[in-house]
Structure 1
Amino acid sequence: MWQRAQEAEVPVWLIGQGSNLLLPDEGLPGVTLVTTSLRKVKWGDYTVQVEAGYSLARLAQEAGERGLSGLEFARGIPGSVGGAVMMNAGAHGGTIAPHIMNVTALWADGTLKKVEKTELEFAYRFCSLRGHAWVLEAELMFSPGDRKRILQNMKENLKMRKLNQPLEKPNAGSVFQNPFGDSAGRLIEAAGWKGRSRGGAQVSNKHANFIVNTGNAKAKDVLALMEEIQKDVQLKFGITLQTEVAYLQRSTKNDARCAMHDARIEGEQSSQND
């Protein structure tokens, strides 16, 4: 399928479980591949080789059960391992980047290559592969730890997520990145946007950095809210909020995005202070 699509110059989109992903109302052109079948996992003493479609939250739980520390922050994050690598997913002050040893990636021209950690650049919600290749597999490293303490930390993270995020309503996760030294949610709330709506999309009353679907929201409703919020926060506080939700457009060049994608489009806890 991949080769035929390339030969026909048909756009190819690869997605995982959908967290932090917004699709256009009219859908995407070309071929959309979902990584749900890429779920092989192989554990070592302190490492794991895992395919891109494997659940990040499940991987974190399994690491904890083995007494392996490093992914405690990820227990409450819905989405796939591939997407987590591509956006350097994180929460509670931790990110996945420090635990990556290497990734196997596929380029748009069909090249398959193992990329070592030293060849990659990571930043807040950023990996240098984004826009260039798809992650198909990753090898992660952990530190040995106290099993009970690791699992307790995960339990506390899940509890905080349930208290602070609108998990009861469909949403695409944290909408904006946190600006340095501040919280996107705090700024949006201070600007008076909590509870405000456009069409079927509403800024959550529980957490202002989440836009929830009240029943009939369209992508255009979400985008309209995002644009208005950005303009208002810039006007009132002089801060430009950068989007965390990835919007895949029909006009977007086949840029090899690999986004965390959840079929239910649930919330993602992207950072401790969102």
Structure 2
Amino acid sequence: MLGYKAPSERIFVGDLKEGDVIISHRSEKAMSDSVIYGHSALVARIEEDVSTHMPSALVLEIDRQHGLHRSVLATSNLEPGRAQIHQRVYRFKDFNVASRAVTVGTVWLSRCHGFQRGERQKISIFGQQREKMVDGVDVYTSGVYSITSLPMVYFGNACYGASARSYARKLNFQYMLQGDIPQELTASATSLFTGVTCTYLPIAVYQAVLGESGSSINMAVDARRALPSDLAQYLDANENWQFLGLLTKI
């Protein structure tokens, strides 16, 4: 896959840390071709599964059905007979920044319109519907995912141009100085083309912490124009991000 690091290592859920970025795609698809099947998420916390006593991860993600929500990370393959999913894991070199990025995402989740705390909920894991019920997991802020933005994201340019730099500066100002969340994540968003797809979240939370100049070095991607493949290619090429390998079944 030209432009992407080949996976030489496999890691387990217990190896994950908060702030890790997970980019998934169907294994039969090259990452550059994974437009429909790609997905991006942010690791929020590692904890022990009460039923299996094995490590499990909570991730912050945005999908079409639930919008912005927090759910349990699935490390197993899809159902028998369906394609496997490759989950590429990236880690930022500065754990303090990574931890703050998770805090940003958690605050955004808690302040979004439609936030609910469900004791028993059906959840979406990397775009796949699962019947597993999760106690005490924060689910969901519906209406956030912008389906109408998909053509703009697909045909747009994810480079860190003037518009992207301005938006990174705005994210940093709104959160760090005002404590506000992006309008794109609220019910008051008026545009049909907010640019909020799955890849928006990991980019935006890091840019909210890093600001315009810090993002130019560590997250120089347009949050509202990037596909999962765009983000993966950028992180692969950035020396401040480490590609850990593929997440594997426990």
TM-score calculated relative to the size of structure 1: 0.26
Structure of larger gyration radius: 1
